[in-house]
Chains A and B, each alone.
Chain A
Amino acid sequence: MSDENIRVLVGKIGLDGHDRGGLIIAQALKNAGMEVIYTGLKNTSEGVVEIAIQEDVDIIGISILSGAHLVLMPILIDELKKNNADDIPVIVGGVIPPGDIPKLKAMNVREVFPAGSLVEETVACIRRLVKEGRKKTIAS
């Protein structure tokens, strides 16, 4: 399987009304040939996991600008585990202070893209993570 038809969930969780960043990423991923399932604003972690499973996405990208990432991300990661879906990698973008990045990674967030990141980096990271994931599925 080449990197065509990569399915990415782009969503926001919690009370966070700013979706410009998520939309820009969604557009960039679309232009990179990926299928983006855009969930819109104010999802719950449970809702995002449900969507990720039904849509059989290769990766979940969460945009957070509210500052609540350290509270919300553990809930999402837990919910994935509960649903036997923690094989789906999760990445985070948004307003993330540098000091929080290691904390997020310790929760098994695979990559973090703070303000100022290039969309090209995000695209390349998604391709890499999905490729790794698909290799693992074939091996298992």
Chain B
Amino acid sequence: MNLFEKIKAGDIRSIARLITQVERRDPEAIKAIKEIYPHCGNAHLIGITGPPGVGKSCLVSELAGKFRAKNRTVGILAVDPSSPFSGGALLGDRARMFELAGDKDVFIRSLASRGASGGLSAAVNDAADILDMFGKDIVLIETVGVGQGEVDIARLAHTVLLVLMPGYGDALQAMKAGIMEIADLLIVNKADLSGADEAVAELSTVQGFQGMREGQDKWVAPIIKSSTLDGEGIEDIAGAVLKHFEYVKEQGLLRKKNRDRRTNQFLDIFTQRIRDEFMKLVKTDAGIQRWFDKIGDLELDPYSASEQVIELLRKAREQERESRKKLRNEYVLRSETTYR
């Protein structure tokens, strides 16, 4: 059995190993992803984001329990930050998810961000595909604890939960651009603390300004109070998440969301590949090395250098087109002589 077949058969160790290899950009793993890709697209991807310490991991664990009770199989991808100094990471989400232990229909994987800055890790797209292929109905993707601008999750998930807690800030905070705009559900977690109702009121006031989802779909994010201590609101959140997915499907937004996700994924991979290939070229090409020297010595600015590279590519494409045209003309000419 090759890796793809093992995964199709549901071999947990192979699945786990494949995610590791994907994180390392192992060529074997990329080969497997190519095989997996056409079989994806069945899972509902749910993003859970919010500042550190608002209770995302506990909420993910509780939500997973609710989805399991509804007989959905669940995958969880929990991203925590890598150290910018050592490269190491403390992946602590597991410590909040022990209630899911022993359930064969739950697969949890912690991922270190490994230098990615948008709240996710570079491997998370592929990891989500692996769990999708593995037959998980729902994949919960928990971002690192974020600030205001880490919105990569909106390009990946079908439904995004923004988790806040009492005292997160006032209406002005809630009106800011960035993370507040990507929420399909607004959660005020730790509702057992004082100030939860005020937080909900602030959020709904801002929503009343109609500014939050300008240029997006007509979905109005429900604001839900929750507490993982006593289970308040968890069932409501699970219900609202599923309702949002229904809305996405009914409105014909699913194809667009998937397309946007894949376009972004393609552009990310493509730009990275171009960069890698270019850097390989630099190592062997003295001419390009001289460019770097010139840029470094302020003789050539990086904008002009980029334009020159793109110009070179354009010329190469034109040349190719010309030679193809020539070939075709010759072929037509030849066939005309033959059939005459």
Contact = CB atoms under 8 A, between A and B. Distances in A.
Interface of A: 1, 4-5, 7, 26-27, 29-44, 46-47, 50-51, 53-56, 84-85
Choose among B13, B17, B107 the residue with the greatest number of A CB atoms under 10 Å from its CB.
B13
11 contacts: A27-B90, A31-B83, A32-B86, A33-B86, A35-B82, A35-B110, A36-B88, A40-B94, A40-B96, A44-B101, A85-B13
Interface in B58-75: none
Contact of B101 (A5, A37, A47): A47
Given A50-B102, A53-B12, A53-B13, A30 B89 contact: yes
Interface stretch (B18-26, B148-156, B255-263, B268-276): B18-26
Nearest to B21: A56
B295 interface: no
Nearest to B110: A37
Interface in B72-113: 82-83, 85-92, 94-96, 98, 101-102, 107-110, 112
A84 B13 contact: yes
Contacts of A43: 98, 101
A1 to B, nearest CB: 8
Contact of A38 (B23, B83, B87, B92): B92
Contacts of A34: 88
B interface bracket (residues with beta carbon within 8 Å of A) = 20 to 34
Contacts of B23: 5
B16 interface: yes
Given A5-B24, A30-B83, A54-B107, A46 B101 contact: yes
A91 to B, nearest CB: 18
List the 4 closest pairs (A to B, CB-CB), nearest first: A40-B95, A56-B16, A30-B88, A47-B101
Contact of B94 (A5, A30, A39): A39
A38 B91 contact: yes
Given A5-B24, A40-B95, A55-B109, 10 more contacts: A29-B88, A30-B89, A31-B86, A33-B83, A33-B86, A38-B95, A40-B92, A40-B98, A41-B95, A46-B102
A47 B98 contact: yes
Contacts of B102: 46-47, 50
Choose among A7, A36, A37 the residue with the greatest number of B CB atoms under 10 Å from its CB.
A37
A46 B12 CA distance: 15
A32 B88 contact: yes
Contact of A35 (B88, B94, B108): B88
A84 B11 CA distance: 12
A35 B112 CA distance: 7
A40 B110 CA distance: 14
Contacts of B92: 38, 40
